[in-house]
Amino acid sequence: MVGTISTRPGGPLARLRAAGREAQFLAPETPRGRGLALVFLTALTVGIFLLSMTAGLGVAPPLALVLPVVAGGIVLQRRALEVLFLVVTVAFASEVATKGWDHTRPGSLAVLVLVAAISLQLTRDRERLGLSTGRGEAMLLELREQLRRQGELPPLPSGWRQDVVQRSAGGTAFSGDFIVSTLTDGGRRLEIAVVDVSGKGLDAGTRSLMLAGALGGLLGQVSPERFLAAANNYLIRQEADESFATAAHVAIDLASGAFRLTTAGHPPAVHYAGGSGRWRLIEVDGDLLGVIPDATVGVAEGTLAHRDALLLYTDGLIEVPGRDLAVGIDRMLGAAEALVPRGFDGGAGAIVDAVAPTGSDDRAVVLLWRT
């Protein structure tokens, strides 16, 4: 027998829904929730004050008043936080008047003022951004997860394998390098774009999020020949001083292995020929995206035969301050050569670990090969 949940008024499901609505109504970002939070923190402040006066400083020292101040900075709006500050100030001043500075200690006042200033600044930043309590962190997590999902290549048909690695400068959550990809023509053609936005780490995170969304929408909707031109037009329209990027875009026929590579100011891709066992740089020139309206792109065509591989990457992998770019490319080719005897599985991560494990720039590597 299959069990059912009653939806009649007063039934279990109805009560569960009512409880959910009540919990949502009492959340800190609702007016009622904020009011209850202020009442609770005010009561906590009064309780700490009374406990200090009756039980002694060893149980509730004046510095304990920091607790409601910190909590208020997290859950209260600015006006409510100012009310809480007034209550905390009265409680602290009453302790000073009753027991003197020797018991309350001037250092406690300094710490309390510093924490209050930090809490107030956090609240002001949250209100300036228009974010409700806790939503700022949640939004950043959602954006980071979106970038991570966009960097995953779609499932490929039999005979094709891929490995993708993205690492940010300093291990931060956001990167100026990103990857977008899609299957088009009923799954017969794979398109990949590897993009390096100006800046690195958190500074480039916002620009990479915006551009990744735009290019993700363009990919597969415009012809491969027009993709980088459309991306350039988008960046030109932003009219921002630092809205420029380098990019490599490749469209691969998964039946024949024929590919068309276009680049815009990007490092050269690398083609491994399984027949000869050699890695070959695909060096084509192209203008940066977002700098001039009629930017030219470099174009190269070729074929990935069985046992061939294609390597795409950003300049964070090969660029070392004070060294010629050719040195970094040679190191990368040496790491790629070491993959041949062991196979390409996990190859993107192995290349990054060998060439730039702790780089000062963002790094993204895509390794695609035919079995």
Confidence at residue 168, expressed as pLDDT on a 0 to 100 scale: 78
Confidence at residue 267, expressed as pLDDT on a 0 to 100 scale: 93
Confidence at residue 354, expressed as pLDDT on a 0 to 100 scale: 92
Confidence at residue 329, expressed as pLDDT on a 0 to 100 scale: 92
Task: Grade residue 313 by pLDDT with cuts at 50, 70 and 90.
Answer: very high
190 and 117 together in one domain: no
Domain-terminating residue out of 135, 154, 171 = 135
Number of domains making up the chain: 2
131 and 151 together in one domain: no
Listed in sequence order, the residues at least 6 apart from 248 whose beta carbon sits closer than 8 Å to its beta carbon are: 193, 194, 261, 262, 263, 264, 266, 267, 269, 312
Confidence at residue 57, expressed as pLDDT on a 0 to 100 scale: 52
**Inter-helix orientation angle 201-218/227-238, to 10°:** 130
Q: Is the pLDDT of residue 366 over 70?
A: yes
Confidence at residue 12, expressed as pLDDT on a 0 to 100 scale: 47
Domain that holds residue 90: 12-135
233 and 152 together in one domain: yes
Confidence at residue 199, expressed as pLDDT on a 0 to 100 scale: 67
Cβ(209)–Cβ(148) under 8 Å?
Answer: no
185 and 302 together in one domain: yes
Q: How far is CA 325 from CA 5, 261, 321, 328, in A?
A: 66, 21, 9, 5
Comparison of pLDDT for 327 and 98, the residue scoring more: 327
Which of 93-102, 143-152, 194-203, 276-285 has the highest mean predicted lDDT (pLDDT)? 276-285
Domain-terminating residue out of 135, 170, 191 = 135
Confidence at residue 34, expressed as pLDDT on a 0 to 100 scale: 65
Total residues belonging to the chain:
371
Task: Grade residue 64 by pLDDT with cuts at 50, 70 and 90.
Answer: confident
Mean pLDDT confidence for 315-335: 86
What is the pairing mode between strands 309-313 and 269-273? antiparallel
Lowest mean pLDDT among 7-11, 110-114, 359-363: 7-11
User: Is 282 among the domain residues?
Assistant: yes
Degrees (nearest 5) of the Cα angle 85, 91, 96? Answer: 120
pLDDT tens-digit map of 29-51: 565 666 788 888 888 888 888 88
Q: Is 19 exposed, middle or buried (0-12, 13-18, 19+ CB in 10 A)?
A: exposed
Mean pLDDT confidence for 166-181: 77
Comparison of pLDDT for 192 and 116, the residue scoring more: 192
- Helix, strand or coil for residue 201? helix
Comparison of pLDDT for 302 and 204, the residue scoring more: 302
What is the pairing mode between strands 278-282 and 177-184? unpaired
User: Is 7 among the domain residues?
Assistant: no
49 and 173 together in one domain: no
Mean pLDDT confidence for 306-335: 89
Confidence at residue 174, expressed as pLDDT on a 0 to 100 scale: 67
Task: Grade residue 350 by pLDDT with cuts at 50, 70 and 90.
Answer: very high
Task: Grade residue 263 by pLDDT with cuts at 50, 70 and 90.
Answer: very high
Lowest mean pLDDT among 57-71, 146-160, 213-227: 57-71
259 and 222 together in one domain: yes
CA distance 275 to 306: 9
Task: Grade residue 27 by pLDDT with cuts at 50, 70 and 90.
Answer: very low
303 and 334 together in one domain: yes
Confidence at residue 5, expressed as pLDDT on a 0 to 100 scale: 38
pLDDT tens-digit map of 180-238: 999 999 889 999 999 988 766 556 666 777 788 888 888 888 999 999 999 999 888 87
Confidence at residue 138, expressed as pLDDT on a 0 to 100 scale: 59
Domain-terminating residue out of 102, 135, 168 = 135
CATH number of the structural domain spanning residue 186: 3.60.40.10
Cβ(250)–Cβ(260) under 8 Å?
Answer: yes
